[in-house]
Amino acid sequence: MSEVVLEIGTEEIPALYIEDALKELERLVKVSLEEVRLPYKEIVTYGSPRRLALFIYGISDKQEDIFQKIKGPAYAMAYENDLKPKTPAIKFAESQGVRVEDLVVENTEKGKYIFAWKLERGKSSPELLAQIFSKVINDLSFPKSMRWEDKKCKFIRPIRWILALYNEEIIKFSIEGLTSGNETYGHRLLAPGKIEISLPQEYLAELKRKYVIVDQEIREKRIRKQIRQIIKEVKGREIINERQLKEVVYLVEYPTAILGTYHPDYLKLPVEVLTTVMEKHQKYFPVYKNKDTLLPLFIVISNSSKRYSSIIKKGNENVLKARLEDAKFFYQEDQKTSLEEKVAKLRKVVFRENWGSLEDKTRRLELLSSYLADALGEEQKVRDEVLRAAHLCKADLVTEMVKEFPELQGVMGREYALLSKEKKEVAEAIFEHYLPRFAEDLLPKTKSGMILGIADKVDNITGCFLMNLVPTGSQDPYGLRRQFRGMISIIFKNKLPLSLKEVFQKSLNGYKETVSGEFTEREEGEIIAQIFSFLKQRVKNIFLEEGIRYDIINAVLKVENNGDLVDIKNRIKAIEEFYNEPSFRKVINSSNRVSNLSKNSPGIDLKESLLKEKAEFNLYQQYNGIHPRIKKYVDQRKYKKVLKLLESLGEPIDEFFDQVLVMDKDPEIRNNRIALLKKIGALFNQVADLSEIVL
């Protein structure tokens, strides 16, 4: 067994793309190795800003041998009547490298044909890997790719070298005139020269000697350890932004943590302003005194050795000072007017093309928030708070601070609301209505924040579907999937009983009132249907992630629903609980027997006078007795009780099918019996479409 290393050397790759690129690199190589029948034990990938590397451990020296059956000409063309081979048979045998007497005859759908059994010897691994690596590099996909110089090849950044070794042998291939070899490069500044690698086993150690730590996990551990050590020395609180750390790991090849300082006066700025400047813009790690308070310190991860620490420290302190001076200036300027005074500026700011201004957006949020508060039965205090928050929630978008640091939208709205003497609950709702901003983010905690958050997301979703800006495939430029997921998460977390169909209709009406343009009823119906189709898919994905069976999800979602997500979840829970009970199978079987005969029949009024048989009259009486009870339990959302009641229909249904001929010769009687089954079938589908359940 042998080892292989492939390294694609490039200009600096954006940090956020590297992890996905490594996963794709590994996937493509695995698929290719399987396709060519080349066994191996393990594949490991490494990445840094200037290189994507892949190791293959325990790879076979050659491809597996296989026997192939090659189809030749028809038997009639290949042989004389006395079985003497004709020219086509001889030529075919020669082309396949076998003897004529070794050809075999087999019957096929098109008649008799001759075949050659041929041993295909496996090719050597270096030969196959050269083809694989060349194709994989060309097939690697990125969110954004580029061409450079006169090259036709597209890649995330220009490729500068390729190292490819099979043990000590170079795997030879070329891409755009660049030929693979056994050379790589060290750290761009600390050891910029070429490095010759003799064996794959030398690769990691040789690069480390040249100030390149290729293994991203080792870089992460090194960074984390250094940050913790510094925090401990300055007696700070160990708080490390994990998202930040994950990005920084792919920004450096030789990480060194350096402690920097800034003037304590800047601590008068809101904590979120300081952390945004340091983390989002400078990629620093703030140092915390406690959970909510910072020390006038920061940690920068330099891509260098310790001997340059003093120079790097001073340079980064100067950069941070300039950024904080800007933030301080914006903060002071914004406070010259109240948040209420800033609302008037919203009418001059276009929300999106054809969507009206931010003032129009604010008006829609006020209308929708008021409706939601009423629908949820909130007290007057909450209604007043959410309406005030809706009025002010977009005002910080015209502040100097948010113009410079868009990430602070909502954060500065809360800060400026408090400075303007607004109620604390109003200020918090202004901040919370943007939550969640990303996966794993916080959800709103206040009632006003929940309501305004749902209203804002619904308004964004409605606007996109109204303007036909619907996500397709992986393209989602307006983040609608995130908006849907955020809205759903808020509803589930707080068990909010909302008819989303009515909510989206109300939102659509809001656009009609604030944006020029006419929307016909047909168009409105199509828009709502589109939104609900997308909503159901998002809900389904969330349930699948929770481990709920796909058939149970489909069964519940297939039943007509007004978009009450909490109700949908309750129905799923009832079926899950009832699923393992012995009687559930009988309920499903009864449901299927009834629906198989009645599902495609038109609605026909049942006539009691046409019920001739005892079994069908008994089933009708059972229906009349159980129907009002099921309706009552459905209204009370006691779905498990509904399923329990349906169990009692099993015996009369069996008797009906045993004793009654549904497809009677008399069309009136036949249709009447089908109408009875139609009514029974409707009862079985009160909780979910049970025909979707797989037993």
Check pLDDT > 90 for residue 86. Answer: no
HEC letters along 543-603? HHHCCCCHHHHHHHHHCCCCCCHHHHHHHHHHHHHHHCCCHHHHHHHHHHHHHHHHCCCCC
Mean of pLDDT values over 411-434: 97
pLDDT of amino acid 408: 97
CA–CA separation, 361 and 346 (whole Å)? 9
Nearest to 159 by CA among 5, 7, 11, 6: 11
Which of 350-354, 551-555, 605-609 bottoms out in mean pLDDT, i.e. has the lowest? Answer: 350-354
Q: What is the pLDDT of residues 505-517, one digit of tens each?
A: 999 999 888 876 6
Residue 558 burial (C-beta neighbours within 10 Å; 0-12, 13-18, 19+): middle
pLDDT of amino acid 516: 65
CA–CA separation, 436 and 491 (whole Å)? 12
Residue 526 phi, psi (nearest 5) = -65, -40
List residues bridging with 491 in a β-sheet. none
pLDDT of amino acid 208: 97
Q: Is 517 or 117 the better-scoring residue by pLDDT?
A: 117
**Torsion sign across C-alpha atoms 521, 523, 526, 528:** negative
User: For residue 402, what are its two tokens?
Assistant: 């948010």
Concatenating the DSSP letter of every residue in 409-426 gives TTHHHHHHHHHTT--HHH
| 2-10 and 159-166 strand pairing | antiparallel
pLDDT cut 90: percent of the chain above it: 73
pLDDT of amino acid 49: 97
Residue 44 phi, psi (nearest 5) = -130, 140
Which of 406-410, 593-597, 632-636, 663-667 bottoms out in mean pLDDT, i.e. has the lowest? Answer: 593-597
Q: What is the dihedral of CA 427, 429, 432, 434, to 10 degrees?
A: -100
Residue 327 burial (C-beta neighbours within 10 Å; 0-12, 13-18, 19+): buried
Q: What is the pLDDT of residues 433-482, one digit of tens each?
A: 999 998 888 999 999 999 999 999 999 999 999 888 888 877 788 889 99
Q: How confident is the model at residue 519 (pLDDT cuts 50, 70, 90)?
A: low
pLDDT cut 70: percent of the chain above it: 99
Most confidently predicted of 96-110, 181-195, 602-616, 665-679:
181-195
pLDDT of amino acid 354: 72
Q: Could you say which architecture CATH assigns to the domain 2-62+124-209?
A: 2-Layer Sandwich (3.30)
Return the amino acid letter for 589.
N
Report helix angle 521-545 to 447-466, nearest 10. 120
Helix (H, G, I), strand (E, B) or coil at 283: coil
Q: How confident is the model at residue 20 (pLDDT cuts 50, 70, 90)?
A: very high
pLDDT of amino acid 255: 97
- 285, 244 contact by CB (below 8 A): yes
Q: Is 262 or 598 the better-scoring residue by pLDDT?
A: 262
Q: Is 113 or 544 the better-scoring residue by pLDDT?
A: 544
HEC letters along 192-239? CCEEECCCHHHHHHHHHHCCCCCCHHHHHHHHHHHHHHHHHHCCCECC
Q: Tell me: cis bond preceding 200? Omega within 30 of 0 counts.
A: no
pLDDT of amino acid 83: 77
Mean of pLDDT values over 251-258: 97
Mean of pLDDT values over 239-262: 97
Check pLDDT > 90 for residue 116. Answer: no
Q: What is the pLDDT of residues 379-403, one digit of tens each?
A: 999 999 999 999 999 999 999 999 9
Residue 682 burial (C-beta neighbours within 10 Å; 0-12, 13-18, 19+): middle
Mean of pLDDT values over 82-108: 84
CA–CA separation, 56 and 51 (whole Å)? 17
Show Cβ contacts of residue 410 under 8 Å, excluding neighbours closer than 6 positions: 393, 396, 430, 431, 432, 433, 434
Helix (H, G, I), strand (E, B) or coil at 96: helix
Which of 91-95, 215-219, 311-315, 507-511 bottoms out in mean pLDDT, i.e. has the lowest? Answer: 91-95
CA–CA separation, 196 and 185 (whole Å)? 9
CA–CA separation, 569 and 26 (whole Å)? 38
Residue that the structure tokens 């050269």 belong to:
130
Q: Is 26 or 152 the better-scoring residue by pLDDT?
A: 26
Segments making up each domain of the chain, as ranges: 2-62+124-209, 66-120, 216-334, 350-547, 569-692
Check pLDDT > 60 for residue 518. Answer: no
Helix (H, G, I), strand (E, B) or coil at 391: helix
Report helix angle 650-659 to 614-635, nearest 10. 150
pLDDT of amino acid 237: 96
Nearest to 324 by CA among 275, 283, 290: 275
Q: What is the pLDDT of residues 315-347, one digit of tens each?
A: 999 999 999 999 999 999 999 999 999 999 999
**Torsion sign across C-alpha atoms 153, 156, 157, 160:** negative
pLDDT of amino acid 134: 96
Nearest to 538 by CA among 484, 480, 461, 466: 484
Q: Which CATH superfamily is domain 569-692 in?
A: Isoleucyl-tRNA Synthetase; Domain 1 (1.10.730.10)
Mean of pLDDT values over 130-134: 96
pTM of the model: 0.82
pLDDT of amino acid 520: 62
pLDDT of amino acid 118: 77
Check pLDDT > 90 for residue 353. Answer: no
Q: How confident is the model at residue 521 (pLDDT cuts 50, 70, 90)?
A: low
Averaged pLDDT of the chain: 92
- 18, 52 contact by CB (below 8 A): yes
Mean of pLDDT values over 71-81: 85
pLDDT of amino acid 517: 60
| CATH topology (fold) of 350-547 | Hypothetical protein af1432 (1.10.3210)
Q: Is 584 or 452 the better-scoring residue by pLDDT?
A: 452
